[in-house]
Copies of this chain bind each other. A is one copy, B any other.
Amino acid sequence: MSEVYATRRSRLRDHFTAAGTAAALVTRPANVRYLAAAAPRGCALLLGRREDLLVCACPPDDRVGDGRPDESLRLYVLPPNGARAGGDAAVGAAELAVGQDADSLAVEEHHLTVARHRAISSVAPALRLTDLGGAVEQLRVVKDEEEISCLRIGAEIADQALGELLESILVGRTERHLALELERRLVDHGADGPAFPTSVATGPHSGRRGHRPTDRRVEEGDFLTVCLGAAYRGYRCEIGRTFVIGTSPADWQVELYDLVFSAQRAGREALAPGAACSDVDRAARHVLDSAGYAEALSPLTGHGVGLEIDEDPQLAPSAMGKLDACVPVTVEPGVHLPGRGGVRIDDTLVVRPEADGGPELLTITTKELLAL
């Protein structure tokens, strides 16, 4: 496994040395984890001129359960109250870069705070600071089969948790309790934890993206939208389904469901290596637009997943770029009608060439409209 991380660091090194920078400082936790196998709290990763160091403010032994740092990487624990670094790993790492004779350091300006940037300039005034930009995020977009395997297991766990919930009695239970029950089941089935706060939305809340569970109880005739995901070895997937509570759905519910289902299918079918992200978005969005729901639509219809639940690429009207094979994304159009509720259907899929059978669906819970 160690080679995987060394190879990733080497690709990043090629990137910043080509840009004329001697060393790089990675601080965004998901990026550190991608390059170092673990990201103990408050740590920073230095890709130095002579050696790579994972710099921590305190021994990472304190944070069990987060994986061990890659063994090909040297762990450097800052001395307590370390003279100038002030116990800050990023500042300490910059001092260590100078010790390795680096004259320039690329930092993640989209993550580093202004205060920390100033502190680095102050302890290492000779160091020219450049912007690493989203270089690590870009490396993370295309996944290897090991990463996809973690996502696949996470999706299986989420499917199991959701399947069990559907077998229980739902009427009368609150959104909060259903969400907690789902999270417990995720852990029961081997998840590290939920991939993001589980969303359970009933009645007028249904169909809302990112709805936070309230004390509203499930009632007969409600739409019920559930969105959850498992984190498994750090990788996060997502599934969303909408159900109807009671014996038979109302006509408007069936119509709205069929519409969102068609939109979601159109989005899934548009996934292919080389497809423009904006075209995938348009495929799903067009179905809802034509039915007059343009206003109800959220700014995106899907996004990449991996070490973070919301990463590149975005499936949105203004998105640039094309999809590659082995990029996992969600496809999650939805409609929410204020006061009435709505529908959201959300899958995690991996983009695959047609020769390999087309997009690989990771979240396999049925998308028929179930009446519970």
A binding-site residues for B, Cβ under 8 Å: 58, 62-66, 80-81, 107, 109-115, 117-118, 131, 176-177, 180-181, 183-184, 187-188, 205, 208-214, 299, 318
Contacts and interface: CB of A to CB of B under 8 A. Distances in A.
Given A65-B213, A114-B114, 9 more contacts: A58-B299, A64-B212, A65-B212, A81-B318, A109-B114, A109-B115, A110-B113, A176-B187, A180-B183
B176 A210 contact: no
Contact of A214 (B62, B65, B211): B65
A118 B113 contact: no
Nearest to A205: B64
Contacts of A209: 62
A64 B214 contact: yes
Nearest to A180: B184
A177 B184 CA distance: 8
A80 B299 contact: yes
Contacts of A177: 184, 187-188
11 contacts: A62-B208, A62-B210, A62-B211, A63-B210, A64-B214, A65-B212, A65-B213, A65-B214, A112-B113, A114-B117, A115-B131
Interface residues of A: mostly helix, strand, loop or mixed?
loop
Copies of this chain, how many?
2
Nearest to A66: B212
A32 B179 CA distance: 27
A44 to B, nearest CB: 15
Contacts of A211: 62, 64
Counting chain B CB atoms within 10 Å of each CB, the highest count among A64, A184, A213 belongs to: A64
Contacts of A118: 109
A81 B317 CA distance: 11
Nearest to A209: B62
Query: Nearest 5 CB-CB pairs, A to B?
Result: A109-B114, A65-B212, A110-B115, A109-B115, A180-B184
A173 to B, nearest CB: 12
Nearest to A61: B338
A319 to B, nearest CB: 12
Nearest to A186: B180
Contacts of A213: 65
Nearest to A338: B61
A355 B41 CA distance: 42
Contacts of A65: 212-214
A167 to B, nearest CB: 19
Nearest to A111: B113
A107 B214 CA distance: 34
A77 to B, nearest CB: 13
Nearest to A118: B109
A184 B183 CA distance: 10
Nearest to A129: B114
A201 B188 CA distance: 18
Counting chain B CB atoms within 10 Å of each CB, the highest count among A66, A80, A180 belongs to: A180
Contacts of A110: 113-115
Contacts of A188: 177
A303 to B, nearest CB: 15
A188 B174 CA distance: 10
Contacts of A214: 64-65
A214 B115 CA distance: 36
A81 B318 CA distance: 9
Nearest to A63: B212
